[in-house]
Homo-oligomer: A and B are copies of this chain.
């Protein structure tokens, strides 16, 4: 077992890479839920959902309570703030590519008048 300790971002991005887990988060955005609540909408076995929950918990994206034999799951958005922060460092780059795209569209429109545009891709 050589495994370097995964950083928080590693765990969070990995957790978010699975559509089932994102759907679970979406459900939790509407409020706390039991495991069975979370199983219901999917065509997946209960242990499978429990496993997904463990991954989400490991990433800090959910926390568990205890109420009788229920272990309510609730959304913890903290790590998403971390992702948001990380992404913030790149915001300028998609603003910029948007500008480039706009410029490109303008070019196409300009060439439209001269009816002879070469394909350059």
Residue ranges of A at the interface with B (Cβ–Cβ < 8 Å)? 7-10, 13-14, 16-19, 22, 25-26, 29, 75-87, 89-94, 96-97, 101, 104-105, 108-109, 111-112, 115-118, 120
Contact = CB atoms under 8 A, between A and B. Distances in A.
A89 B83 CA distance: 13
Contact of A117 (B10, B14, B86): B86
B7 A90 contact: no
A45 to B, nearest CB: 17
Given A19-B7, A22-B9, A89-B117, A82 B109 contact: yes
A46 to B, nearest CB: 21
A75 B14 CA distance: 21
Contacts of A80: 87, 90, 93-94
Nearest to A82: B108
